[in-house]
Amino acid sequence: MTRYNFIAIEGNIGAGKTSLATMISEQYNARLILEQFEENSFLPKFYKEPEKYAFPLEMSFMASRYQQLKDQLGTMDLFKSFTISDYFIVKSLIFAQKNLPVDEFKLYTSFFNIIYQQLPKPDLLVYLYVDTHRLQSNIKMRGRPYEQNIQDEYLNRIQEGYLEFIKQQQNLRILILDTNTLDFVGYPADYQKIIKVIDKDYPIGVHRVIFE
């Protein structure tokens, strides 16, 4: 696993990003960067009144993600083998595109482009592809009150945003894992399947694995 210095795990809401990143960090003694989303006071408000709170929500998320990644990735940890994060800064742009009107998104993009150039890119970006019904099941299971009314249509739009971004990339090493048939939290054998696939040398480009 140490063939990559920085691995970012991405995916839709409820895809299992935090669980997988945490499990890998514990097994391989990696530095773990977890998104501080529960500290964002705009999030519950956004789910109740999305049009009113979308812009402050997305701006605050971008600022906190940038600061966290800048602080964490800008320093070395001699006691950790590599760094793994449960998000990539580009998720800010993907969610903003789906949540903001055109004029606000244009303004948002101008700020995003400035900070994006200042952050290291992951050596491997792992995208967990999970169908909407499975996402909803995971969301219900973890029980965050402000997430319980998320609609399928919203999850579909976010998934489309990620896939659109992935298709456009030419300079990143991206691994799409279709994990619909796996329960890597509940079954160690499923987790090992993911580890076996991640722990390979991949060239720059998009690679997809569907587990049987």
Query: Residue 36 gets which letter from DSSP?
Result: -
Average pLDDT over residues 35-50: 85
The residues carrying an active-site annotation are 86
Q: Tell me, what's the pLDDT at 3?
A: 87
pLDDT in tens, 131-179: 999 999 999 988 888 788 889 999 999 999 999 999 999 999 999 999 9
User: Tell me, what CATH number does 176's domain have?
Assistant: 3.40.50.300
Flag whether pLDDT at 79 surpasses 80.
no
Q: Is 86 a domain residue?
A: yes
Q: Is 101 a domain residue?
A: yes
Q: Is 192 a domain residue?
A: no
Angle between helices 90-99 and 152-168 (to 10 degrees): 130
Q: 43, 37, 161: which is closest to 95 by C-alpha?
A: 161
For residue 147, the enclosing domain spans 26-181
Write the burial class of residue 192 (CB in 10 Å: 0-12 exposed, 13-18 middle, 19+ buried). exposed
Alpha helices in the chain (DSSP H): 17-28, 42-48, 50-73, 90-99, 102-116, 132-142, 152-168, 188-198
Q: Look up residue 24 and give its two tokens.
A: 């890998």
Alpha-carbon gap, residue 20 to 9, rounded angstroms:
8
Q: Tell me, what's the pLDDT at 65?
A: 94
More confident residue, 72 or 175: 175
Residue 58 neighbours by CB distance under 10 Å: 25
Q: 131, 149, 127: which is closest to 140 by C-alpha?
A: 149
Query: How many distinct structural domains can be found in the chain?
Result: 1
Cα distance between the two ends of the chain: 23
Q: Look up residue 163 and give its two tokens.
A: 């896939």
Q: Is 170 a domain residue?
A: yes
Mean pLDDT value across the chain: 93
Q: Is 85 a domain residue?
A: yes
143 close to 176: Cβ distance less than 8 angstroms: no
Q: Is 61 a domain residue?
A: yes
pLDDT > 90 fraction of the chain, expressed in percent and rounded: 83
pTM, whole model, 2 decimals?
0.92
Q: What is the largest CA-CA distance in the chain?
A: 48
